[in-house]
Amino acid sequence: MAKLIGKKEIIVTISAVILTTVGIKASDKIRNSNEGVATPDGKCPVYMVNVVSASGDFCIDQYEAAPGNNCPYLSPSGQTETRVNIDSKKCQPVSAPGLVPWRHISQDQAVLACAKAGKRLPTNEEWFAAALGTPDKLGTWTNDDCQVNNNWEEQPGRGGSGINCRSAAGAFDMIGNVWEWVSGAVNDGQFEGRMLPEAGFIDSTGGDSLPAITNKDKPNENYYYDYFFIKHNGVRGMARGGYWDNKSDAGQYSVYIVSPPSGIGQGTGFRCVK
């Protein structure tokens, strides 16, 4: 026998539909916004979080950057589509939950994309400060954790999919999902006058938040088994955090200095600071 639906159930159903519709419209509005409005603490725009730093506080995108709705390509499949986005007057990167990260973008292009939003790429030290406190697990990753083992439904996943993948400052997905470009480049293995170590598991870091000593064979639990990827020839851009299939090699200490500033990849994106 069919169950009769009462007035209360009808009201609840209608309310749920209305709230869902409002939520969808609000999400579209967020994606189209440039900077949003001030957060309750008044320190950062909406969907940016304040990071306390010894060198000065700053705001960083709470989620990995994605193309806004005014961009010709919401999911660029190559560098040409990224260029079309950047050249489009109304296209800007946005930070909001539930959006697919902007990939197939070079470090140089990420600089331009952030500038269009009135922001910039984070420095290496800023990125590291914003990532601190993100759970850097060594295994048994679930869909609530950072995506480093294809452990979300999508690769890459939508921003904020892993509810546990949140830093102390409140930034999501600093570890895994996609590598994130930071500013600066390494020339023949040197960064700001310091020769960086060979590729390997990180054994210690310098004052610049980059590895100082590595071990090719033995991972260090104190650095969460994080790995340092580097090529010592030519000019290489810097990306941090790891992507969806780096497993324990990914993490807050993990750095990728392999691609030139003009290089792109399906597993590399960015976020901006202000």
Sign of CA dihedral 90, 93, 97, 98: positive
DSSP string over 85-117: HHHSTT--EE--TT-----S--HHHHHHHHHHT
Distance between CA atoms of residues 232 and 198, nearest Å: 8
Q: Which residues contact 129 (CB under 8 A, 6 or more apart)?
A: 51, 52, 53, 169, 209
Distance between CA atoms of residues 58 and 104, nearest Å: 27
Pair of tokens at residue 200 = 């390997």
Residue 159 is predicted with a pLDDT of: 98
Q: What global pTM score does this model have?
A: 0.86
> Position of tokens 């609000």?
26
Name the stretches of the chain with pLDDT < 50.
1-40
- Kindly report, residue by residue over 76-128, the tens digit of the pLDDT: 999 999 999 999 999 999 999 999 999 999 999 999 999 999 999 999 999 99
Residue 241 is predicted with a pLDDT of: 98
Q: Checking phi first, is residue 67 left (phi over 0); if not, alpha (psi -120 to 50) or beta? A: beta
Distance between CA atoms of residues 4 and 233, nearest Å: 73
Structural domains in the chain plus CATH codes: 45-269 (3.90.1580)
Distance between CA atoms of residues 228 and 173, nearest Å: 19
